[in-house]
Chain A
Amino acid sequence: MTRLAVPKTYKLYIGGAFPRSESGRTYEIVSAKGAFLANAAKASRKDARDAVVAARSAVGGWSGATAYNRGQVLYRIAELLEGRRAQFVAEIVDAEGVSAAVANAQVDTAIDRWVWYAGWTDKYAQVAGNANPVSGPYFNISVPEPTGVVAIIAPQDSSLLGLVSAVAPALVAGNTVVVVASEKLPLSAISLSEVLATSDVPKGVVNVLTGSPAEIAPWLASHQDVNALDLVGAGDLDWIDLQIAAADTLKRVLPPENGPDAAAPSLDRITAFVETKTVWHTKGLI
C-alpha cells in the first residue's frame, strides 16, 4: 500500500511570518506537464504594502549589523540550502519539467551564489570605496552604504536560481528586499523563504510575494518608501512605465535582463543599490 503524501500549503513570506494573502486569493500552479501542483497565494497591493513596511523596519538592524555578521548569515543560507537540496531538486523537476541533473545544477549554482555574495559583505566597500587625495588639510574618504528597501521583480523563467541571483546581491550591503517571485514558478521561492526563516536572517530582511508581477509591480514602483527597483524579471511587463513611475521618487533602477544569464553574478549588482558617502574632516596639528 502506498502512503498518501501530505502536501504543503504555500503562503507568502512577510516580516518573518507566513501569512496568506490578505485578499484571500490563490492561483493554481501546474507542473510542466500541466498537472496540479499547488495553490499559491496571490498577493495584493496591500500585501505588497505590508511587505514594504516589514522591509523598512528591518533596514536598521540589517544594515547596522557588522559586515562580518552579514557574511556569516548569508553563508548560513548556503549551508541550510545544501541540507535541503533534495526538496528543491524535486520542486524544480516538477515545475520546470527538467531532468534531475539539470535541477541539481540549478540548485548547485544557487548555493554557490549565496557563498559568492556572502564573501562580498566585508569586501565590497574595500573595492568600491577609497581614500581621496584632496588638496588641502583634509581627511577625505568615500564609503558605500546601502540605499534601503529594494523591490525586485524576480526572473520569471527560473524557480530558484533567478530569485537567488537577484536577492543575494541586494542583501550584501545591508539593503532589505521585497521580491515578487516568478509568476509561473513560485513554489521554490516559498520553500527558500522557509530556509531564510530558519537561518539567521532577521525577519523582514527578505519578503517574498507570489502572484501577478503585472498587478503588484506598479505599486512597488510607485511606492514612496521603496528606494530601489530591480526590474530584472520584468521584461514581459510594461517596464518602461515602471521606470517612469520609479522616477517619481528617483529610485535606483536596474533594467530587465533576459535569458539564462539574467542577474549573472557581478559586483555591479551590489553597487547598484548603494549610496556613496564622502566624509571630509579637517586635519590640524596646532
Chain B
Amino acid sequence: MTGTQIVPGERAIALLGGEANDANLRRYLHGIPGVDAVGLEQRAAGLGTRSIKTTSKAWALDRIIGLIDLTTLEGADTPGKVRSLVAKAVTPDAADPSCPRVAAVCVYGDMVPHAVQALGTAHGDPDQGKIAVAAVATAFPSGRSSRSIKLEDTADAVAAGADEIDMVIDRGAFLAGRYGQVYDEIVAVKEACRRADGTYAHLKVILETGELNTYDNVRRASWLGILAGGDFIKTSTGKVAPAATLPVTLLMLEVVRDWHRLSGEKVGVKPAGGIRASKDAIKYLVTVAETAGEEWLTPHLFRFGASSLLNDVLLQRQKMTTGHYSGPDYVTID
C-alpha cells in the first residue's frame, strides 16, 4: 500500500478537461455544492450519539489501535525519544501480547533513520501487520519556505526510508485563491515521493482546517488535495487550534465518498490532533463506517494522528478484559 501508482496530476486533467490552472480549478471547486454548517454539525453530533457496546466496543478499541499513527513532533525530539516511541508502537501493552500494533510512527524527517532502525523487522506495511514510518515534510507545520526546500525535505525523508509523507498545503496561497499554486506544489511533492524503483511513498495532504476556517474551504481544499494526487487527506498538523473535529472529518469523508462514486478510487482520511479519548475515537469510527463505508476502516484508508489516545484506548481495553477500571500506572509512558 505504500506504493500506490497514481501518477501526479492525472486525476485533475481528466476531471477538469484542461490544465489545472487557477481559473479552471476555481471554476470546478466553486461549482461544488456548498456546506450548511448547522446541518453538518448536527449530523456529526447525531453520529456521535451512537452507542458502541460490548463486542462492538472491543472490536472498535482494537481497530483504533491499528489505525493510529503514533506521533512525536517536538523540537525536543531525540533518537532516544523516537526509539521509545517505536517500542510503544510495537508493544502498546506490555502486559497483553494480544494487543495489536499501531499502523505507523510519525516523526520529523531527520528522525526517520532512527525510527527505521528501531523498528527493524517490524518495519513494513500496516496491512501486513507491520509498522510504517511516516515523516512530516514540506517545512511542517507552517509550510513557509521555498518550494525547492520543501521538495528536498520530502525527498530526503523518502530516501531515509519514510513510507509515508505528511505534507502541508500552502494555506496562504489557498486563501488567496491561488489554487493552481497549491495544486502544483502537491503534484511536485508527490513527484518527490517517487523512489528509485518508480514506486511512490504514500502522500498525506494536510489541509490545516483550523486555518482554512470555513467548511466550504475545507471541502474545496479536500477536492484539491485529491485532484493533485494525494493518497490521504489529513485535517491538521496538531499545531493549530482547532485541530481535528468530528464535523470537519465528516465533511472530508463525504468528499472521499463522492470521489469514490465519481472515479472508483479510494482516498484515505486522517484526522489528527485533539483526539485523546477512546470515546471520541469511537465516534470517528462510526462516522467513517456510516459515511464512506466500513471498508474504509483499514490502515490504508483511515488513520488517527495521535499520541495520548493510545494509552486511553489501552485503559479501556484493560477494563473490557478485566472488568474493572484501570489507572494510568498500568499503561506505559513512552
Do chains A and B make direct contact within the complex (CB under 8 angstroms)?
A: no
Q: Which residues of B contact A (CB under 8 A)?
A: none
Q: Which residues of A contact B (CB under 8 A)?
A: none
